[in-house]
Structure 1
Amino acid sequence: MEQISGRELAGDSRQNTVGMLEGVAAAMTRWSERWFPDAYIFAAIAVIVVAVGAMAIGAPVKTVGRAFGDGFWTLIPFTMQMVIGAISGYVVAVSPPAAKVMNRLARLPRGPRSAVAFVAFVSISTSLLNWAISLIFSGLLVRVLARREDLRMDYRAAGAAAYLGLGATWALGLSSSAAQLQANPESLPKGLLAITGVIPFSETIFLPQSFLVVAVLTIISVLIAYFSAPTGDRVRTAVDMGVDVSDQETRLSAPVRPGDRLDHSPVITIMIVLLGAVWIWHEFTTKNPILAISNLNTYNFVFLMLGMLLNWRPKRFLNAIAKSVPSTAGVLIQFPLYGGIAFILTKAAVPSGVPLSEHLAHFFVAISSHSSFSAVMGLHSAILGFFIPSGGGKWIIEAPYVIETAKAVQVHLGWAVTVYNAAEALPNLINPFWMLPLLGVLGLRARDVIGFTFTQLLVHFPVVIFLLWALTSTLQYHPPWMP
């Protein structure tokens, strides 16, 4: 009788487990694709729920309606900042120099599973700089890797690995919407600013505890990506899936009219970037670098100038912007609704003068303590995040009662933001909403990758909640700083 080695038995057991998880995740994906409406519908439902909640505790209909209208436009500066951040990240990711870096990186992995793990590492690393760069750059990297004839890489697993930056760590990086919002008082609605105060980066994403969470999630994500990547007959390459991964770079056509020459001339780009460089140099040499980069306008300006420089010619730069704009439609229409929600929560008071946000804070204070705050709020934020897929917009909803609860149970306010950030990213792993730009780049469907991201979620969820709970006691509470 043929002997079966322990390694083969372990391999079969692992493949069976992964196959079962893929089946569960695929079923969940089919359900969500069939029944989930557009993310805008969830934002609209949130408005209705919050309005009904305010009226249920005694706020007059007129007061609720006025609060909604007064708050509707309060997030316009932040909305445009988020849009510019997404556009600038996309423009950097699709630039010719980024393509050259991508081609060089694609030569590094030696085997198919190491290639998947490498994509996961690149996705997570770049997400700490900008979530849009991570999503687009990692997706394009997968396509370049898939062209290697010597690398029989599972295209689905690599695609899922490219998504890990947005599903694991982006909210703990520089483009964290909640951290950016709290560090910029001019972007905060006044009612929210009065509750939270200003919380700089040094108290949120630059905390040593936040770095630890990022390090643990990076290691875990890369290991899971490596060991969950199919091998042998289970591998499905891009060719197997009928996906064309040939180089589809759009070449600039030569100028036709004399006026077109300026569109193709780098002189304009050089002059604008030089002016921008003077301002950037001044910002970072006259201010604390942490404070400088925490300014959302500075952050966006740096990446926009970088995108302009890397694309070199104005025509290429404008083409990249045109391709990036459709991905920002959700932000443009949803964020005003979140502004209205914030005002209903904080301004639509009952005759006694107590708004809905305070009632919610009292509820969470009643079920929380200093030690349980992070676990309770983490679970709450993760569950709500599945239905309201918006980092900064959802923070506008949660911040009033999350911060009030943190103050009541004496939890470090910057850590409360980190709790939100780390937990809010978890549902991204199985929510098709944020996958759409990446899936467009890869030519895949959500059901192709979600089995692998669901496997990540099963491990991430308990690890994240445990870390948030365990690290809470390492930080001391101090009152909010008011500008």
Structure 2
Amino acid sequence: MTVVIRNMGNFFSLVVQRYLPDAFIFCILLTFVAMLGGIFLGGKTPLEVFKFWGDGFWGMLTFSMQSSMALMTGYALSSAPLFRKGLSKIARLPKNFGQAVLLATTGSFLLWYFHWGVGAVATGLLCREITRQMAKKGVKMHYPLLVASSYIGSGTWHLGISGASQLLLATEGHFLEGLVGVIPVSQTIYAPSTLIMSLALLIVIPIITYFMIPEEKDFKEPPASLIKMMEKEAEAEGSIQHNGRKTLGEVLNNSILVSMFAGVAGLIFLYYWFAKWNGAFDLNIFIVIMLVLSIILHYRPSSFYNCMKEGVRVAAPIFLQFQFYGGIMGIMVSSGLVAIIANWFTSFSTPFTFSWFAYIAAGLVNMFVPSGGGQWTVQGEIIMRSALDLGVSPAQAVTAFACGDGWTNLIQPFWALPLLGFAGLSIRDIMGYATVVFIFVFIIMSAGILFLPW
């Protein structure tokens, strides 16, 4: 079995390296496919499709800024001395590369399961520190597989406690309440069948990534420049050396009091947000938490600010590509392609197969609309109405949708951008290994959707 999975990993990695373009080119090709679909399937004119693309282009602006801020603050936090020490303790646990892959895969699953925003950033931090510790120990490694293992959680996140569609259905006043009522998370996220699927994925997927480890002669070490940069960050420990007399500007730039003032102000806000104002834990608050922790743990404003400037470089692909995905989403929704895909799968479904076809449809749409909450708003009503017509449990239907929405993240580079920014790799380096996991996730999810009781 080990040889078979290793050969699968080598095969898909070779194919992807040879034929898959960079993430930005992949995004452009998806745009072209969506445009053709809008014209030939949606029955729209080319001018209408271009308008849909233009209307949607800036639709992701808020989200791209949120994601970029999450990545930049995560980068700054990873360079803070105290945080680095804590992360180093975890990253030092593996004694060999096999254990490092298991840690990266399991950590990715758990972080994404907790919250997709945490997973998108924290997996990159953990991967960087594991890499540094392995290099420090002189352990040989296959860096692309380690990075790919850190991306695995993106394929299962929608079954976790931040699942957008399930949480929305559990909220009073949601847009489908008149159709299906309020569905508590005890019937979706915490349903026995969902937990069984999640547990099966947590057990099986780390084993699959472990089995994909190539022979040592085929290892690809991380770039020497990357290791050097990591070690430089670790040695700096956020300290600033000064010679001679300090100016007032230098004193303020390196004043711990300034950082503490900003940090305490942020902590007061967070306290009132959760304790007094009953605010929700969403992506914006996640970013505030990362920002406040980064400021406090860097001690000096100049140290924090310099790390944020470097984080801008890491976040550059997000600034660019998220807007193009907004254009794709605009085409998919306004041209009716989402409804066409969902209705086509529904047209030949039976009560037994409906949820599985809903799973496949959600996975297909996710390739063009890689946003769980956004996809549910345009596909949810079709799924729920069809489920009720066929006598299928709405809880099973939304869980199937959640499975599909996460599943194809493994072959969609959108959510890999933050991790790749941390790792310094391209999508071609990791997608072959992610494709193997994609196949096994499909098997586990399909079995759970079809045969577990709902």
TM score, norm. by length of structure 2: 0.76
Counterpart Cα distance in 1 of 2:199 and 2:211: 19
* 8 A contact 2:31–2:324 mirrored in 1: yes
Query: What whole-Å deviation, never above 9, does each CA across 1:247-295 have from its counterpart, x for those lacking one?
Result: 131656557752243332232332233233233223333577xx722x4
1:268 aligns with 2:250: no
**What amino acid is the match of 2:149?**
A
Cα RMSD for the two superposed structures: 4.3
**What amino acid is the match of 1:97?**
L
**What amino acid is the match of 1:404?**
I
Counterpart Cα distance in 1 of 2:48 and 2:218: 59
Label 1:367 to 1:266 Cα distance change in 2 as closer, same or farther (>3 A). Answer: farther
3-state SS of the aligned residue for 2:25? coil
**What amino acid is the match of 1:106?**
A
Shift of 1:326: 1.2
3-state SS of the aligned residue for 2:21? helix
1:464 aligns with 2:439: no
1:95 aligns with 2:80: yes
1:39 aligns with 2:27: yes
* 8 A contact 2:318–2:418 mirrored in 1: no
Counterpart Cα distance in 2 of 1:46 and 1:284: 41
Label 1:15 to 1:198 Cα distance change in 2 as closer, same or farther (>3 A). Answer: same
TM score, norm. by length of structure 1: 0.72
Shift of 1:463: 0.8
Alignment of 1:9-88 (within 5 A): 14-15=2-3, 18-33=6-21, 37-43=25-31, 45-46=33-34, 49-50=37-38, 53-55=41-43, 76-88=61-73
Query: What whole-Å deviation, never above 9, does each CA across 1:37-81 have from its counterpart, x for those lacking one?
Result: 24145246425633664445xxx8998787777666566555544
Q: Which deviates the most, 175-184 or 461-470?
A: 175-184
3-state SS of the aligned residue for 1:422? helix
1:228 aligns with 2:209: no
1:110 aligns with 2:95: yes
Query: What whole-Å deviation, never above 9, does each CA across 1:439-475 have from its counterpart, x for those lacking one?
Result: 454455555544433332232221122223345x52x
Alignment of 1:111-150 (within 5 A): 111-127=96-112, 128-129=114-115, 130-149=118-137
Residue 151 (structure 2) aligns with: 163
Shift of 1:139: 2.4
Residue 287 (structure 2) aligns with: 300
Q: Which deviates the most, 169-178 or 308-317?
A: 169-178
Question: What fraction of aligned residue pairs are identical, expressed as a percent?
Answer: 23
Query: What whole-Å deviation, never above 9, does each CA across 1:152-182 have from its counterpart, x for those lacking one?
Result: 444343233222233x334444666667888
Equivalent of 2:221 in 238, 244, 251 = 238
1:333 aligns with 2:323: yes
Query: What whole-Å deviation, never above 9, does each CA across 1:355-384 have from its counterpart, x for those lacking one?
Result: 776655543432234432331122233344
Query: What whole-Å deviation, never above 9, does each CA across 1:395-449 have from its counterpart, x for those lacking one?
Result: 6356423432223313565655543443233334344555455445445555554
Label 1:160 to 1:339 Cα distance change in 2 as closer, same or farther (>3 A). Answer: closer
Label 1:96 to 1:334 Cα distance change in 2 as closer, same or farther (>3 A). Answer: farther
Equivalent of 2:269 in 274, 279, 286 = 279
Counterpart Cα distance in 1 of 2:295 and 2:396: 35
1:217 aligns with 2:201: yes
Counterpart Cα distance in 2 of 1:70 and 1:34: 25
- In structure 2, stretches of 5+ residues that fail to align are none
Label 1:210 to 1:38 Cα distance change in 2 as closer, same or farther (>3 A). Answer: same
Query: What whole-Å deviation, never above 9, does each CA across 1:61-119 have from its counterpart, x for those lacking one?
Result: 99878777766656655554444444444443443333212321232223332222122
Label 1:297 to 1:110 Cα distance change in 2 as closer, same or farther (>3 A). Answer: closer
* 8 A contact 2:64–2:319 mirrored in 1: no
Shift of 1:303: 3.2
* 8 A contact 2:121–2:418 mirrored in 1: no
3-state SS of the aligned residue for 1:224? helix
1:372 aligns with 2:359: no
Label 1:110 to 1:284 Cα distance change in 2 as closer, same or farther (>3 A). Answer: same
Label 1:150 to 1:34 Cα distance change in 2 as closer, same or farther (>3 A). Answer: closer
Counterpart Cα distance in 1 of 2:55 and 2:404: 30
**What amino acid is the match of 2:90?**
L
Counterpart Cα distance in 2 of 1:440 and 1:61: 35
Counterpart Cα distance in 1 of 2:8 and 2:53: 46
Shift of 1:223: 1.6
Q: Which deviates the most, 327-336 or 136-145?
A: 327-336
**What amino acid is the match of 2:289?**
V
Shift of 1:311: 3.3
Residue 7 (structure 1) aligns with: none
Equivalent of 2:362 in 372, 378, 381 = 381
- In structure 1, stretches of 5+ residues that fail to align are 1-12, 346-354, 475-483
* 8 A contact 2:124–2:423 mirrored in 1: no
* 8 A contact 2:22–2:428 mirrored in 1: no
Label 1:248 to 1:216 Cα distance change in 2 as closer, same or farther (>3 A). Answer: farther
Residue 423 (structure 1) aligns with: 404
Query: What whole-Å deviation, never above 9, does each CA across 1:172-228 have from its counterpart, x for those lacking one?
Result: 446666678888999x9x9x9999999887776565654443332221122222333
